[in-house]
Amino acid sequence: MKSKENNGPYNIYAEAEITVEFYDLDPMQVVWHGNYVNYFEVGRRALLEKIGYSYDEMEKSGYAFPVTEVSAKYIGSLRFRDRARVKAILMEYENCLMIRYEIRNAQTGILTTKGTSTQMACDVMKHESCFVCPPILIKKIEAFIKGETP
């Protein structure tokens, strides 16, 4: 029986848990909408580390991946001290790095936010945008797909 979860075309995803802090709240005592992008970052870092391309590895390889687009849909709210589970799902890696996010209340499992981010590779030494992802990232993802651990 196939799972109802949509883990993207490559079935590569990572999850991370965060605790909502007081400084994340707005005057209505819910997480300020802009902070969900920070939570996406927590998931993205976990995903990159899972495939063996951490920010340290990225820097050593001579590439940066600035965000070129981000979107979020707010479905529910998180509040102070809530535990949230951030899931980052790889959607594209050949021409750009596209990641889909789901944020759920870890206690209830209720989906609170979903979104996407797109990142474009840049060659740090040449100060140039790359219109395809660098071979090092593609090799790491393809090795991960084959079950080779990073």
Residues in the chain: 150
Q: Which of 26, 56, 82, 123 is catalytic?
A: 26
Those residues with Cβ within 8 angstroms of residue 54's Cβ, 6 or more apart along the chain or in another chain: 45, 48
Active site residue 123: no
DSSP 8-state code for residue 25: B
What six digits make up the tokens of 22? 């007081």
Name the pTM for this structure: 0.93
The residue among 36, 8, 33, 16 whose CA lies nearest residue 99 is 8
State the DSSP string of 88-139. Answer: EEEEE-SSSEEEEEEEEETTT--EEEEEEEEE--EETTTTEE-SS--HHHHH
pLDDT in tens, the chain (150 residues): 344 578 999 999 999 999 999 999 999 999 999 999 999 999 999 999 999 999 999 999 999 999 999 999 999 999 999 999 999 999 999 999 999 999 999 999 999 999 999 999 999 999 999 999 999 999 999 999 998 877
Q: Pick 13-144's CATH classification: 3.40.50.300, 3.10.129.10, 1.10.10.60, 1.10.10.10.
A: 3.10.129.10
